[in-house]
Structure 1
Amino acid sequence: MVARLLLVILLLGALIGGLAFFKYSQIQAEIAMFSQPPPAPTVRVVTVETTNWQPTLNSVGSIEAIQGVNVNNEVAGQVRAIEFESGAIVQRGQVLARLADDVDRAELEGLEAAERLAQIKVERNRALLKDRAVAQGDFDEISAQLDQARALVKSKRATIEKKTIRAPFDGQLGIRLINLGQFLPEGSPIVALQNLDPVYVDYALPERHLARLSTGQTVQVRIAADPERIFEGVIEAISPGIDRGTRNVRIRARLENPDLALRPGMFARVATLLPVEQEVLTLPREAITFNTYGDTVFVVREEGDQTLAERRQIVSGDVRDDQIAILSGLSVGERVVRSGQVKLSQNQAVRILDDEDAEGASE
């Protein structure tokens, strides 16, 4: 009985000892695993390079039509015909609307009859004047009556012609503002007409830049409707005076607009290109971390057999597309972390992901 009890105790002791040893080994393995340094994070880098940038003078302005009017009528009348559609492209001289002219044409017939009668009187009296059968003064009076009749006919024809409203220049029409049968007083707006190719951009720059401006200078324009597109033009006119309120000089540039992407009234960002190019250091925007304490980047450097990422503060400048000018803090040829900097800390070891690794990871 005692022997059997000792045997059970020995078996239990062996079992407990085995479990304790197994748990101890497992804990030691986990400790060893967590005590190992984590693998270095992978990053992509870019090399700081020099780029020739053309300096610019930046401003904002508005797009203006090279010609733009509200077409109106010179004489009063009732709308008899409308011969255009809203938004249509028209040519100079194209008929847009006609006003009723029946009364004017009837009056014209009477005036033409009076002109013919005056012509007959002049011809008859001219023959009598040769024979001295009529006084010179009477002949002059009859001749003046003929001139007056001709002037009245010419005036009435001009009035009738003005009752046919035509496009004063090539362009695109706006929204129709009249209706058939409507009576139009003189000067009533009929439709807006804009010549959209080319167009102007009007903007202003501080007076200190006046000496750097000249006609023919290239400008680049961006609009909110198509922010990725750059429209190029040239300065056509510079105001001879300075605005007393703002001390700015007004500038007008001309832009080609064959696809009519630029419309009058659009807000425009204007960059006036200066003739002298400057050499600057540049980095992609994504390589820079922006915050209220200053802009920073992670510079990659080799130390022994390790590659470390060092945080460095920089001063950034102008922006061109995705590139930013670096004014100080970096040198040509230094490597900067382009992506993956969010997971980095000061002097942390990193593994650089080259293009082949990036392609494999993307696949």
Structure 2
Amino acid sequence: MIARILTVLVALAALIGALAFFKYGQIAQEMAAFSQPRPATAVAAVSVDTTNWRPTLSGVGTVQAVQGVEVNSEVDGQVREILFESGAMVEAGQILLRLEDDVDRATLEGLKAAEQLAEIQLRRNRTLLRDRAVAQGDVDERAAQLDQARAEVKATEANIRKKTIRAPFAGQLGIRQVDLGQFLAAGTAIVSLQALDPVYVDYALPERHLAQLHAGQQVRVRVAAYPERVFEGRIQAIDPGIDQGTRNVRIRARFDNPDLALRPGMFTRVETLLPIQDAVLTLPREAITFNTYGDSVYRVVERDGQTLVERRQVTTGAVRGEEVVILDGLVAGDRVVLGGQVKLTNGQPVRVVDKPAQASTDAEGEAE
């Protein structure tokens, strides 16, 4: 009985010893793997370039017509004739609409007859005055009656002219708002008229930029309707005052618009171009890590025969598209990692490859 128990204990001890030896071997292998130097991570790098940089001041604005009105009637009347189509281009002075004026013309004939009579009576009285047959007061009274008759004729003629509505300037008409035979009260809107070439873009910038602005300065705008197109114009006027509510200065830029692409009311993104700066350091946006503690890059360095990365704090400036100005922290010719910075640590060995796509593929292979 005792021999059997001893045999079982010896077998258990042998099994436990074998398991402990196997586990020790695994731990030793893992420790040996950890002690091996970390393989170099494949990264793409880009050099810090110097370039001529043209800074801009960005804002938003609205397209305004150089001239834009609601054409309306100055007098009451019934629409007799409509001589335009909605959306048509018109010239200055072109007739758009006529109101009924028969009664006014008949009244004008009567007033002209009264004017002729007053003129005849004045001539007769002046002849009688030479013969001392009438007093000077009678002549003066007839002269006043003639002046009054002429004034009434001119007023009626002006009223008749106002019943022929003309385009006050050249431009494009909007949608017609009246119909044939409709009675129009004075001031009733007939159609909108906009002069579309050139146009203005009104926008605002913070007052701190006032010293950098001047008339004639180049301006670029983009609109949602033509996202790939850039319209170029120049500042025409700068408001002499600062808005007390927003502390912004209002600016008006003028743009040629021969194809009528810019329309009044359009929302625009505006860039005001400043003088060109020479030898400015720039980097692609993706090479920079932006966070609340400061912007940084991973600079590629050669140390003790190895290619390593070191984290470097940088001061960034203006942004233009995908390019960012580097104000401090790097010099021209420095190489920095282009993308994938979250996988790197300070002092980590790297292997520089030509293309970002290749670096991503190599990194995935190393991870496997």
By the TM > 0.5 criterion, same fold? yes
Q: Is the Cα contact below 8 Å between 2:43 and 2:337 reproduced in 1? A: no
**CA distance in 2 between partners of 1:86 and 1:292 (Å):** 56
Aligned to 2:101: 101
1:214-259 deviation line (CA, Å, top 9, x unaligned): 3223222222222333323222222222222222222222222222
Q: Which segment is superposed worse, 195-204 or 118-127?
A: 118-127
Aligned to 2:224: 224
Residue 349 (structure 1) aligned to one of 348, 351, 357: 351
**CA distance in 2 between partners of 1:301 and 1:240 (Å):** 54
Q: Which amino acid aligns with 1:231?
A: F
Aligned to 2:335: 335
Instruction: Identify if the C-alpha distance between structure 1 residues 196 and 231 changes in structure 2 by more than 3 Å, giving closer, same or farther.
Output: same
1:163-198 deviation line (CA, Å, top 9, x unaligned): 111111111111111111111111011111111222
Q: What TM-score do you get using the length of structure 1 for normalisation?
A: 0.76
Aligned to 1:3: none
Q: Does 1:265 align with 2:265?
A: yes
**CA distance in 1 between partners of 2:241 and 2:291 (Å):** 42
Aligned to 1:157: 157
Q: Which segment is superposed worse, 312-321 or 205-214?
A: 312-321
**CA distance in 1 between partners of 2:84 and 2:287 (Å):** 56
- Number of residue pairs aligned between Structure 1 and Structure 2: 317
Q: Which amino acid aligns with 1:132?
A: R
What runs of 5+ residues in structure 2 fail to find an aligned partner? Answer: 1-35, 357-368
**CA distance in 2 between partners of 1:187 and 1:238 (Å):** 33
Q: What TM-score do you get using the length of structure 2 for normalisation?
A: 0.75
Deviation of 1:310 (Å): 6.3
Instruction: Identify if the C-alpha distance between structure 1 residues 232 and 353 changes in structure 2 by more than 3 Å, giving closer, same or farther.
Output: closer
Instruction: Identify if the C-alpha distance between structure 1 residues 313 and 228 changes in structure 2 by more than 3 Å, giving closer, same or farther.
Output: farther
Q: Is the Cα contact below 8 Å between 1:311 and 1:347 reproduced in 2? A: no
Write out aligned runs for 1:36-75 (5 A). Answer: 43=44, 45-75=45-75
Deviation of 1:204 (Å): 2.0
1:123-179 deviation line (CA, Å, top 9, x unaligned): 233333333333221122112111111111111110010011111111111111111
Identity of aligned residues (%): 65
Q: SS of the counterpart of 1:137?
A: helix
What runs of 5+ residues in structure 1 fail to find an aligned partner? Answer: 1-34, 355-363
Q: Is the Cα contact below 8 Å between 2:39 and 2:349 reproduced in 1? A: no
Aligned to 2:250: 250
Q: Which amino acid aligns with 1:205?
A: L
Aligned to 2:4: none
Q: Is the Cα contact below 8 Å between 1:40 and 1:351 reproduced in 2? A: no
Q: Which amino acid aligns with 2:76?
A: A
**CA distance in 1 between partners of 2:247 and 2:43 (Å):** 54
**CA distance in 1 between partners of 2:340 and 2:256 (Å):** 44
Aligned to 2:239: 239
Aligned to 2:135: 135
**CA distance in 2 between partners of 1:265 and 1:173 (Å):** 15
Q: Which segment is superposed worse, 58-67 or 227-236?
A: 227-236
**CA distance in 2 between partners of 1:352 and 1:205 (Å):** 42
**CA distance in 2 between partners of 1:85 and 1:220 (Å):** 34
**CA distance in 1 between partners of 2:246 and 2:290 (Å):** 33
